[in-house]
Amino acid sequence: MASLDELLKINGVVAAGEFTPDGKLVDFKAKMDMSKDMGALTAQFCATVTMMFNTLAGSYSKMSGMNWVPQHGWMYAGGDWTVAIGGNRGVFIETAKADFNQLYKALVSGK
């Protein structure tokens, strides 16, 4: 699994963080002006969305007969930005500069 410093070296990534399942910020690094408070709020958001997808994946797996668990990661893109999550780590990316194959490999390889 890539370290936060390694994630920050990926083209387009401007911030990287790690969070607990209950939404507490573990570690956070940024190449842009992003406060620790913003990092903490983002950790809460990412943990909540991850929990929601875990619940949906379990239910959908049972209903569809398709295997959607365990969850490996998720992404949200809007405006000029993308948030990509793998496990309990995530990054903010300038969407136009992103290499999503590289991000996926860095965030969820080995899962």
Confidence of residue 110 (pLDDT cuts 50, 70, 90): low
pLDDT of 31 reads 95
Q: What CA–CA distances, in Å, run from 10 to 13, 101, 105?
A: 6, 11, 11
Q: What is the mean pLDDT of residues 37-48?
A: 96
Q: Which two tokens stand for residue 105?
A: 């490999």
- Is the confidence at residue 27, as pLDDT, over 90? yes
CA dist 105 and 58 (Å) reads: 24
- Give the three-class secondary structure for 23: coil
Residues 87-102, buried b or exposed e (16+ Cβ, 10 A)?
Answer: bbbbbbbeeeebeeee
Q: Which fold has domain 4-108?
A: Beta-Lactamase (3.30.450)
pLDDT of 111 reads 57
Q: Which two tokens stand for residue 61?
A: 């797996």
The pLDDT mean for the chain works out to: 95
Domain residue spans of the chain: 4-108
- pLDDT-above-90 percentage for the chain: 95
Confidence of residue 1 (pLDDT cuts 50, 70, 90): confident
- List strand residue ranges (DSSP E) for the chain, in order: 13-19, 25-30, 73-78, 81-86, 89-94
